[in-house]
């Protein structure tokens, strides 16, 4: 079975400060990891993914994430937060099964960037 944990329900950060949204995972075999963002009353939007290769993955809107195999983590980061980054962030892990790929999502972390 695969699972994702996002230990923080909410993260508050001041505009211009760096932000981190935490994610840890559990999966048998190699993990395929994703971050999605959901703005109010909208569908999820893809930010970035880790499949293989460089542990530091760069994505949309200046976000990046670092894959750490020993800590089974995939934390989302941004050097300087914007008010417009305020949203709900989901980490997800995927596995191969039944011929397709099934995403298991974390429960989400609400990011609030304070002006």
Q: Which residues bind other proteins (CB under 8 A)?
A: 32, 34, 36, 38, 41-46, 49, 51, 88, 90, 94, 97-105, 107-108
Alpha-carbon gap, residue 19 to 82, rounded angstroms: 10
Of 24 and 108, nearer to other proteins (C-beta) is 108
φ, ψ at 10 (rounded to 5°): -145, 145
Structure tokens at 110: 């609400």
User: How near is the Cβ of 16 to other proteins at its closest, in Å?
Assistant: 27
Of 43 and 115, nearer to other proteins (C-beta) is 43
Of 34 and 63, nearer to other proteins (C-beta) is 34
Of 19 and 44, nearer to other proteins (C-beta) is 44
User: How near is the Cβ of 42 to other proteins at its closest, in Å?
Assistant: 6
Instruction: Give the angle subtended at the CA of 26 by the CAs of 20 and 29, to the nearest 5°.
Output: 120
Residues 10/110, Cβ–Cβ less than 8 Å: yes
User: How near is the Cβ of 75 to other proteins at its closest, in Å?
Assistant: 19
Alpha-carbon gap, residue 73 to 76, rounded angstroms: 10
């Amino acid at each position: 079975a695969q699972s994702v944990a996002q230990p923080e329900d909410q993260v508050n950060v001041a505009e211009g400060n760096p932000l981190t949204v935490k994610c840890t995972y559990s999966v048998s075999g190699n993990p395929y990891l994703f971050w999605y963002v959901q703005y109010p009353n909208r569908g999820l939007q893809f930010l970035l993914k880790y499949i293989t290769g460089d542990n530091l993955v760069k994505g949309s809107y200046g976000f990046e994430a670092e894959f750490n195999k020993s800590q089974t983590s995939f934390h989302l980061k941004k050097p300087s937060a914007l008010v417009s980054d305020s949203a709900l962030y989901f980490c997800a892990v995927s596995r191969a099964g039944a011929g397709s790929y099934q995403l298991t999502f974390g429960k989400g972390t609400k990011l609030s960037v304070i002006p």
